[in-house]
């Protein structure tokens, strides 16, 4: 082959290696996306529009936790709905086993395994969601997503076995800052993520997957004692047994129904002692039952199938009448939506890297203007995150210059670059809110105007979430103006 000289062969080899390197880089950065996170924690500035801060983080440093709690209350204009939170994590429980699928209830055997929980749902005393979890569907990254509202990368799978303390902004740190006392019983992953944060804890290891009994008894044995105490504000219970049942025998294991029944007894015990018969000195309690991920038919998890990502979020003890929603089939949220929802319910700033959107029905107890305020706070936090990820994004004219008369005529169709669209969608929502708020008499405050503002806020929040560089690489199309304006709630 006379045409293949030594120098040509060298060039071909170098080109081949270069192409391989490019391919490998595309694979690595695609499969393990580098997630830029904002350092630090949200503070009093969360209650101000971005770039118009009059309150800086410095004021926070001098404040006693109780003063900080009062400051948040004053700035948000929304009193916290609850005093205490119980988060019950049932590891590996697919939401389908409790809520059914496609509007159909679960099988008779599953319904009968959880009579108390099913009666709460049927009577409108609980509201349940399929909380779509992002892959990888393993415990540590999913717990992080629930408490921070941020999506981790696939690199977290490797870290799952060597868990480090969580440094990014999250609900537990926010609660700690306002002086909350916290107790953790169950999976020791919590202790590794949040060392030194709990006043009492009893961690169990997830290493012995053959153990489906002791691992949960270690949690429940403290329950009666803890429910009678009034020295904590946040109780975490993390039951590992159901995940272990799955690993041994899959979803249809003979051990599954008895395990669900055991979990139902825990829900019943908490509901009866802390929500129905709450003692005055303990304050009002909210019980949130969640799962970190689901499982396949054979009981495995880690991937992105429906069975594995179908996790549960069940809210028990809400103040508002939720009977209308109990039979709703629109009960799909994202797992990250739990973080902003709990932050606003308990009066702390939404964690900095959150991409979740607050769950509308949960805030039904608030007055109309307060519901808009909650959406505004969620939007400000997401705008701040977007500004950090897209340095050119300021929306400054709209955020800082305020709004003038004839606001509704300024509603525009949103198009153009991602940045322009975010600003435009946010501005539309803020204009509609401002317009509704400025109408002095309640008679002129029409329900349609209110609905338009709510719809516009959700349009911004959902677009900001799905267009997140860290969430999805495919930016969605700008919604059509008529979709924004039409009152669809
Ligand atoms: Zn798990």
For the chain, percent of residues with pLDDT exceeding 70 = 80
Model pLDDT for residues 448-471, shown as the tens digit of each residue: 888 889 999 999 999 888 766 544
Q: If you measure from the C-alpha of residue 295 to the centroid of ligand 1, how many angstroms do you get, rounded to a whole number? A: 9
Q: If you measure from the C-alpha of residue 240 to the centroid of ligand 1, how many angstroms do you get, rounded to a whole number? A: 7
Q: Which residues of 137-158 are buried (b: 16+ CB within 10 A; e: fewer)?
A: bbbbbbbbbbbbbbbbbeebbe
Given a contact cutoff of 8 angstroms between Cβ atoms, the answer to whether 291 and 285 are in contact is: no
Q: Is 222 exposed, middle or buried (0-12, 13-18, 19+ CB in 10 A)?
A: middle
Q: Which of 61-75, 140-154, 393-407 has the lowest mean pLDDT?
A: 393-407
Q: If you measure from the C-alpha of residue 175 to the centroid of ligand 1, how many angstroms do you get, rounded to a whole number? A: 24
Q: If you measure from the C-alpha of residue 208 to the centroid of ligand 1, how many angstroms do you get, rounded to a whole number? A: 13
Per-residue pLDDT band at 482 (split at 50, 70, 90): very low
Q: If you measure from the C-alpha of residue 398 to the centroid of ligand 1, how many angstroms do you get, rounded to a whole number? A: 44
Model pLDDT for residues 392-407, shown as the tens digit of each residue: 776 655 555 555 555 5
Q: If you measure from the C-alpha of residue 232 to the centroid of ligand 1, how many angstroms do you get, rounded to a whole number? A: 25
Q: If you measure from the C-alpha of residue 140 to the centroid of ligand 1, how many angstroms do you get, rounded to a whole number? A: 7
Q: If you measure from the C-alpha of residue 120 to the centroid of ligand 1, how many angstroms do you get, rounded to a whole number? A: 25
Q: If you measure from the C-alpha of residue 149 to the centroid of ligand 1, how many angstroms do you get, rounded to a whole number? A: 17
Q: If you measure from the C-alpha of residue 222 to the centroid of ligand 1, how many angstroms do you get, rounded to a whole number? A: 22
Q: If you measure from the C-alpha of residue 162 to the centroid of ligand 1, how many angstroms do you get, rounded to a whole number? A: 15
Predicted local distance difference test score (pLDDT) of residue 480: 35
**Which domains, ranges and CATH numbers included, belong to the chain?**
79-365 (3.40.720.10), 371-485 (no CATH)
Per-residue pLDDT band at 345 (split at 50, 70, 90): very high
How many C-beta neighbours within 10 Å does residue 250 have?
15
> Across the strands, what pairs with 132?
310, 334
The mean pLDDT of 68-93, rounded to a whole number, is: 91
Q: If you measure from the C-alpha of residue 111 to the centroid of ligand 1, how many angstroms do you get, rounded to a whole number? A: 23
Q: If you measure from the C-alpha of residue 141 to the centroid of ligand 1, how many angstroms do you get, rounded to a whole number? A: 9
Q: Which residue has the higher pLDDT, 119 or 151?
A: 119
What is the DSSP code string of 214-281? HHHHHHHTTHHHHHH--S-SEEEEEE-HHHHHHHHH-TT-TTHHHHHHHHHHHHHHHIIIIIIT--GG
- How far is the C-alpha of 401 from the C-alpha of 51, rounded, in Å? 11
Which two structure tokens, joined as six digits, stand for 404? 């003038």
Q: If you measure from the C-alpha of residue 173 to the centroid of ligand 1, how many angstroms do you get, rounded to a whole number? A: 22
Q: If you measure from the C-alpha of residue 376 to the centroid of ligand 1, how many angstroms do you get, rounded to a whole number? A: 33
Q: If you measure from the C-alpha of residue 242 to the centroid of ligand 1, how many angstroms do you get, rounded to a whole number? A: 9
- How far is the C-alpha of 481 from the C-alpha of 456, rounded, in Å? 10
Per-residue pLDDT band at 28 (split at 50, 70, 90): low
Q: If you measure from the C-alpha of residue 469 to the centroid of ligand 1, how many angstroms do you get, rounded to a whole number? A: 27
Q: If you measure from the C-alpha of residue 292 to the centroid of ligand 1, how many angstroms do you get, rounded to a whole number? A: 6
For the chain, percent of residues with pLDDT exceeding 90 = 51
Q: If you measure from the C-alpha of residue 464 to the centroid of ligand 1, how many angstroms do you get, rounded to a whole number? A: 28
Q: If you measure from the C-alpha of residue 460 to the centroid of ligand 1, how many angstroms do you get, rounded to a whole number? A: 32
Q: If you measure from the C-alpha of residue 309 to the centroid of ligand 1, how many angstroms do you get, rounded to a whole number? A: 11
How many C-beta neighbours within 10 Å does residue 488 have?
11
Q: If you measure from the C-alpha of residue 256 to the centroid of ligand 1, how many angstroms do you get, rounded to a whole number? A: 16
Residue 347 is classified by DSSP as T
Per-residue pLDDT band at 349 (split at 50, 70, 90): very high
Q: If you measure from the C-alpha of residue 87 to the centroid of ligand 1, how many angstroms do you get, rounded to a whole number? A: 15
* CA distances for 417 relative to 120, 303, 392, 483, angstroms: 46, 33, 11, 19
Q: If you measure from the C-alpha of residue 91 to the centroid of ligand 1, how many angstroms do you get, rounded to a whole number? A: 5
The mean pLDDT of 459-488, rounded to a whole number, is: 54
Given a contact cutoff of 8 angstroms between Cβ atoms, the answer to whether 89 and 237 are in contact is: yes
- How far is the C-alpha of 256 from the C-alpha of 238, rounded, in Å? 17
Predicted local distance difference test score (pLDDT) of residue 423: 85
Kindly tell me if the per-residue pLDDT of 479 is higher than 50: no
How many C-beta neighbours within 10 Å does residue 247 have?
18
Kindly tell me if the per-residue pLDDT of 192 is higher than 90: yes
Q: If you measure from the C-alpha of residue 93 to the centroid of ligand 1, how many angstroms do you get, rounded to a whole number? A: 9
- How far is the C-alpha of 215 from the C-alpha of 12, rounded, in Å? 59
Per DSSP bridges, beta strands 285-290 and 310-316 are: antiparallel
Q: If you measure from the C-alpha of residue 311 to the centroid of ligand 1, how many angstroms do you get, rounded to a whole number? A: 10
How many C-beta neighbours within 10 Å does residue 360 have?
18
Q: If you measure from the C-alpha of residue 291 to the centroid of ligand 1, how many angstroms do you get, rounded to a whole number? A: 8
Which two structure tokens, joined as six digits, stand for 304? 């992105």
């Amino acid at each position: 082959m006379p045409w293949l000289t030594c120098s040509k062969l060298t060039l071909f080899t170098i080109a081949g290696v270069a192409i391989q390197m490019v391919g490998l880089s595309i694979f690595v950065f695609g499969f393990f996306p580098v997630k830029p996170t904002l350092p630090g924690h949200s503070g009093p500035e969360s209650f101000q529009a971005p770039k118009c801060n009059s309150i800086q983080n410095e004021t926070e440093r001098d404040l006693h936790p109780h003063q900080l709690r009062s400051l948040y209350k004053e700035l948000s204009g929304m009193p916290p709905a609850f005093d205490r939170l119980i988060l019950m994590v049932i590891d590996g429980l697919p939401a389908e086993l409790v809520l059914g699928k496609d509007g159909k209830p679960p099988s008779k055997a599953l319904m009968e395994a959880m009579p108390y929980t099913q009666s709460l749902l049927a009577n409108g005393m609980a509201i349940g969601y399929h909380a779509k979890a992002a892959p990888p569907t393993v415990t540590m990254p999913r717990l992080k997503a629930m408490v921070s509202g941020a999506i981790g990368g696939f690199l977290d799978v490797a870290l799952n076995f060597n868990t480090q303390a969580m440094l990014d902004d999250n609900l537990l740190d926010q609660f700690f800052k306002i002086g909350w006392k916290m107790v953790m019983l169950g999976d020791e992953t919590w202790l590794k993520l949040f060392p030194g944060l709990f006043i009492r804890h009893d961690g169990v290891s997830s290493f012995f997957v053959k153990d489906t009994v002791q691992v949960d008894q270690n949690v429940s044995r403290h329950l009666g004692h803890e429910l009678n105490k009034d020295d904590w504000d946040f109780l975490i219970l993390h039951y590992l047994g159901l995940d272990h049942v799955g690993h041994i025998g899959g979803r249809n294991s003979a051990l599954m129904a008895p395990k669900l029944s055991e979990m139902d007894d825990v829900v019943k015990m908490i509901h009866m002692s802390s929500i129905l018969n709450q003692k005055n000195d303990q304050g009002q309690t909210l019980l949130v039952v969640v799962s970190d991920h689901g499982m396949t038919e054979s009981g495995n998890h880690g991937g992105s199938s429906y069975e594995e990502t179908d996790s549960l979020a069940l809210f028990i003890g809400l103040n508002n009448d939720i009977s209308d929603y109990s039979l709703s089939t629109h009960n799909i949220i994202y797992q990250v939506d739990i973080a902003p929802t709990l932050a606003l319910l308990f009066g702390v700033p939404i964690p900095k890297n959150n991409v979740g959107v607050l769950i509308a029905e949960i805030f039904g107890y608030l007055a109309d203007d307060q519901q808009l305020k909650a959406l505004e706070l969620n939007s400000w936090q997401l705008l701040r995150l977007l500004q950090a990820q897209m340095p050119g994004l300021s929306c400054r004219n709209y955020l800082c210059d305020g709004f003038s008369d004839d606001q509704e005529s300024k509603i525009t169709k949103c198009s153009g670059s991602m940045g322009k669209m975010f600003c435009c969608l946010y501005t539309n929502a803020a204009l509609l809110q401002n317009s509704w708020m400025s109408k002095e008499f309640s008679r002129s405050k029409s329900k349609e105007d209110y609905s338009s503002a709510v719809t516009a806020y959700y349009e911004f929040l959902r677009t900001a979430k799905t267009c997140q560089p860290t969430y999805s690489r495919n930016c969605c199309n700008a919604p059509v103006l008529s979709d924004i304006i039409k009152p669809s709630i």
